[in-house]
Amino acid sequence: MLASEVIKRFEEYCPEKLAISGDPVGLHIGTLNKEIKTVMTTLDVRPEVVCEAISKEVDLLIAKHPPIFRPAKRLDTDNPQNKMYADLLKHDINVYAAHTNIDIVEDGLNDWFCELLGIANPEFLEKTHEINGKFYGIGRIGKLQEKLSLVDFTEKVKEVFTLDSCRVIAEDFEKTIETVAICGGSGEKFYPSALEKGADLYITGDIYYHTAHDMLANGLSAIDPGHHIEVLFTEKIAEKLQTWNVENNWQLTILKSEVDTNPFKVR
């Protein structure tokens, strides 16, 4: 079957038009007008992931993070990133990325986070689109199914995302947490919306030092579990692909990348 048939079904679920303006989603490398047998999901497209894809004879990579986020100025293959692009082309591996659109879409990454953390009836944190009279937004906010102290909820976050540690921004670790806002990736710029909507706690990655001070000054606690919790994409999109595989009798092999692309280690 053609790669375009798989991506057509994917975009019925997660349209490119839901991405934030300027976000480089969609096909990055190769062509969708190609017969494929094996599809692999991944959070990141890194040289190690490409080696894995080559060894497993993958035809199509579906990634959360766009591999070409900033334009390449040169294509010299002494540069590891450029060599990775060359390897993908040489081995005829196509790469498609869903970035902020998978954050925004219903039954997408932020909704999956809420399910794992017990955040009930979540609503979007900040509006991004209105399409045919329907509103869409990034991030989620809702109430915990069970109120917890910040220290206990922090332990839950670590358990759910299999973390050794996470950064916590708070004055009082015994405060009761009921309303939680969350945005996967680097969502610190949306913290004013979390405040405005009455969040007791905001969860997002890559919180900047001075932003943390601002959060404290405004009485907002936060947990930074890191950017890599978005690896949930790899599992969940593989599950959806396998469901569509059966429903449509595609007879594809669906794989999940087994490479750990988290650049941060705790020692």
pLDDT of residue 146: 93
144, pLDDT greater than 90? yes
Whether the Cβ atoms of residue 93 and residue 29 lie closer than 8 Å to each other: yes
CA distance 117 to 180: 10
Strand partners, 169: 222
- DSSP labels for 200-233? SEEEES---HHHHHHHHHTT-EEEE--GGGGGHH
Mean pLDDT for 243-261 is 98
Using alpha carbons only, how large is the chain's radius of gyration in Å? Answer: 19
CA distance 119 to 181: 9
Residue 183, SS3?
strand
Mean pLDDT for 188-204 is 98
Q: Which CATH architecture has domain 106-225?
A: 3-Layer(aba) Sandwich (3.40)
Mean pLDDT for 1-10 is 98
Mean pLDDT for 57-86 is 93
Mean pLDDT for 86-106 is 98
107, pLDDT greater than 90? yes
Whether the Cβ atoms of residue 109 and residue 232 lie closer than 8 Å to each other: yes
172, pLDDT greater than 90? yes
Which range, of 63-67, 70-74, 148-152, averages the lowest pLDDT?
Answer: 70-74
150, pLDDT greater than 90? yes
72, pLDDT greater than 90? no
pLDDT of residue 267: 87
Instruction: Write down the mean pLDDT value for the chain.
Output: 97
Whether the Cβ atoms of residue 198 and residue 145 lie closer than 8 Å to each other: no
Q: How confident is the model at residue 75 (pLDDT cuts 50, 70, 90)?
A: confident
pLDDT of residue 71: 81
Q: How large a percentage of the chain has pLDDT more than 90? A: 97
Q: Which of 249, 252, 141 is nearest to 187 (CA)?
A: 141
All CATH 3.40.1390.30 domain ranges of the chain, comma separated, are 3-99+230-256, 106-225
pLDDT of residue 246: 98
Q: How confident is the model at residue 217 (pLDDT cuts 50, 70, 90)?
A: very high
pLDDT of residue 152: 98
What residue numbers does the annotated binding site for a divalent metal cation cover?
Answer: 65, 103, 227, 230
CA angle 169, 147, 186 (to 5 degrees): 35
76, pLDDT greater than 90? yes
Pick the CATH number of 3-99+230-256 from 1.20.140.10, 3.40.1390.30, 3.90.1150.10, 3.20.20.150: 3.40.1390.30
Mean pLDDT for 184-193 is 97
Q: How confident is the model at residue 73 (pLDDT cuts 50, 70, 90)?
A: confident
CA distance 45 to 40: 11
Sheet holding 176-183, edge to edge: 119-131, 134-149, 176-183, 201-204, 221-224, 167-169
What residue numbers does the annotated binding site cover?
Answer: 65, 103, 227, 230
Whether the Cβ atoms of residue 126 and residue 191 lie closer than 8 Å to each other: no
